[in-house]
Amino acid sequence: MKKHLLKTEFGSLCGLEAEEAFIYLGIPYARADRFYYAWPVDTWKEELDATEFGPACPQFRQFFPQLDNPERLFYHREFREGMTFVYDEDCLNLNIYAPKDAKDCPVIVFFYGGGFNSGSNREQPFRGEEFAKRGIVTVFANYRVGIFGYMTHEGIEGELRRDGNFGLDDQRVAVRWVKKHIAAFGGDPENITLMGQSAGAISIQYLCLDHGNEGLFRRAIMMSGGGMFPKFALPRRAEKTREFWLQLMEVAGCRTLDELRALDVQSVLEAQQQMKSLRKDVTYNTMPVVDGYQLPDRVDRLIRHPLDVDYMIGFTNNDMYAPVMAHIGTKFGRANGAYLYYFDIDAPGDGNAAFHSSDLRYMFGQLSGSWRPYGERDYEASGQMMDYVANFARCGDPNGEGLPEWRHADRWHSAALCIRPEGTKMGHPSYLKMTRNMISKGNPKAGR
C-alpha cells in the first residue's frame, strides 16, 4: 500500500492508503507506568510513523504459548496463525480505518476479548476497510490485560486513591482520546459507538454503568458479554482480591509493590503462570473489580440504572454458557430497548458450530483471511451484519433498505434477529432450543 500523510493540529501522521480507506496504525493514545493509571498523549513533535501495528500488552502467550492446549491452539489457529506479535508495556495504541472522503462520519471504537488476560488489536478479524466502505470510521484500541491490567494492592490505593482496573481505565482514556481527536480523521466526535466482544463486551457494559461517562458515547454493541445480570461473573471489591496478588508477589520473590514494579516482564508473567498450579481462581482475580471509582458499587445494583444510550446485544449458538448469555442479554435488552441478535451460523470446517467469537470474522468482513471454507451464504450474512451495524452506528436503528426488519426488545417483547441464512443447517440443537425459548418466552426451560 502507498503511504499517506495526514497533518493535524496535534501532529502529522504517515499512514497507509488502501483502495477505499486511509489506515493509521499504532497511534499512541496514552502512556502508563506499571500499576499506574494512564495519561493521554495529545501531541507529538515529529512526524508519527503510523504504518505498522503497535505492540500488545505483555501476556502469557508471549513466553508460554502452550500450543499443546487444545483451546489455545484452537484460537491461535483462528485468529493468530502465521502472524508476528510484538509485546511491550508501552502498549496503549490504536488503529484507525477511515473512509477516504470522511467528514463527520459515525465512529465505532472496538475492544477485543481475551478473558481480561490476553488479546491484541493486531489479530486477524480486527480490520476496518469494510466499514470504511459503508462510511464508518473504525478504531481498534489496545488496553492492558492480566496482572498489568488488574493488579490490586493496598499500596496502590494508598498512593493513587484508587485500586485496580488499569485496563478498564485504559479503555475510557482511549474513548476520550477518540472523542477529542477523531474529527481530524473525518469522524464525528458526537456520534461514537462502543463495540466489544467477550471481555471487551463486558468492559463496555461496565463503562455503561459509570454515569461519569455520560455524553462520552451514544451507543454500545456487546457481542457475547452484554447484560451481566443478575449474578454471572460479578466483580468483587478490590480489597477482596488483594490476598491473591500478595501470594503472587511471594511467588515472584517480591516483598514490596516497588519491587514488583521493577521486576522484569518475564518474571512477572512466570509468577502469574505459577499461580495457576496453586489456585483455581486465577482468572477470577485478573479481571475488573469494584473500585469505588469506575465501578462505585456492586454491578447487580448499578445495572438497574445504566447509561441512556442505544444498545445492541448478541450471542452465538455454541457460545460460552450460551443459555446464560441468552438469559442475561435478553433480560438487559428488554429493560433497555436493545436490539438483540442470535448468531446461528455454524462455522464450516469442523463440528464446533457457532463457537464463542465465531461472529467476529463476519462482523468485520474478514472471512477470506481464514482457513475455513466459507461459502456464498456466509459472505451474504457477513455483508448483512455489517449493514445492520453501520446503520445502527449512524442513528441507533439497524434497519435499512433491503434488510429484514429487526425489532428492538422491550418489556413486552424479547424480539431478536436470528442471523441464519436460509438453507443453512441449524446450530447446536440443545442450545438452540434453550436460547429460542429464552428469547420468545423469557425462560430457557419453557416447553420442556
308 — phi, psi (to 5°)? Answer: -85, 80
Q: Is 312 helix (H, G, I), strand (E, B) or coil?
A: strand
3-state secondary structure 335-395: HHCCEEEEECCCCCCCCCCCECCCHHHHHCCCHHHCCCCCCHHHHHHHHHHHHHHHHHHHH
Nearest to 230 by CA among 313, 300, 301: 300
Q: What is the CATH number of the domain that holds 140?
A: 3.40.50.1820
Instruction: Calculate the alpha carbon distances from 29 to 64, 257, 442 in Å.
Output: 28, 26, 42
Could you confirm whether 198 is annotated as catalytic?
A: yes
CA distance 82 to 420: 30
Q: Is residue 198 part of a domain?
A: yes
Could you report the per-residue pLDDT of 389-439, keeping only the tens digit for each?
999 999 999 999 999 999 988 877 777 888 876 543 333 334 445 455 544
- Lowest-pLDDT choice from 6-20, 104-118, 431-445: 431-445
Could you report the per-residue pLDDT of 36-94, keeping only the tens digit for each?
999 999 999 899 999 999 999 999 989 987 666 788 889 999 999 999 999 999 999 99
Q: Which amino acid is at 301?
A: R
More confident: 118 or 443? 118
Mean per-residue pLDDT, 140-163 = 97
Could you report the per-residue pLDDT of 192-249, keeping only the tens digit for each?
999 999 999 999 999 999 999 999 999 999 999 988 766 666 899 999 999 999 999 9
Q: Is residue 362 part of a domain?
A: yes
Q: Is residue 379 part of a domain?
A: yes
Q: Can you tell me which residue has the cell 464463542?
A: 356
pTM across the whole model: 0.93
Could you report the per-residue pLDDT of 17-46, keeping only the tens digit for each?
999 999 999 999 999 999 999 999 999 989
Q: Is residue 41 part of a domain?
A: no
Q: Which domain holds residue 320?
A: 53-235+293-441
List, in order, residues 6 or more apart from 326 with CB less than 8 Å away. 315, 342, 434, 435, 438, 439, 444
Q: Is residue 46 part of a domain?
A: no
Q: Is the dihedral of CA 76, 80, 84, 90 positive or negative?
A: negative
Could you report the per-residue pLDDT of 317-339, keeping only the tens digit for each?
899 888 888 888 888 999 999 99
Q: Is residue 406 part of a domain?
A: yes
3-state secondary structure 227-258: CCCCCCCCCCEHHHHHHHHHHHHHHHCCCCHH
DSSP letter for 426, please: P
Q: Is residue 27 part of a domain?
A: no
pLDDT score at 428: 38
Q: Is residue 47 part of a domain?
A: no
29-68 burial, b if ≥16 CB within 10 A, otherwise e? bbebebbebbebbeeeeeebebbebbbbbbbbbbebeeee
CA distance 14 to 117: 32
Residue 258 burial (C-beta neighbours within 10 Å; 0-12, 13-18, 19+): exposed
The one catalytic residue in 120, 198, 358, 370 is: 198
Q: Which amino acid is at 152?
A: T
Total structural domains within the chain:
1
CA distance 17 to 5: 9
CA distance 440 to 151: 41
Mean per-residue pLDDT, 107-127 = 96
216 — phi, psi (to 5°)? Answer: -75, -35
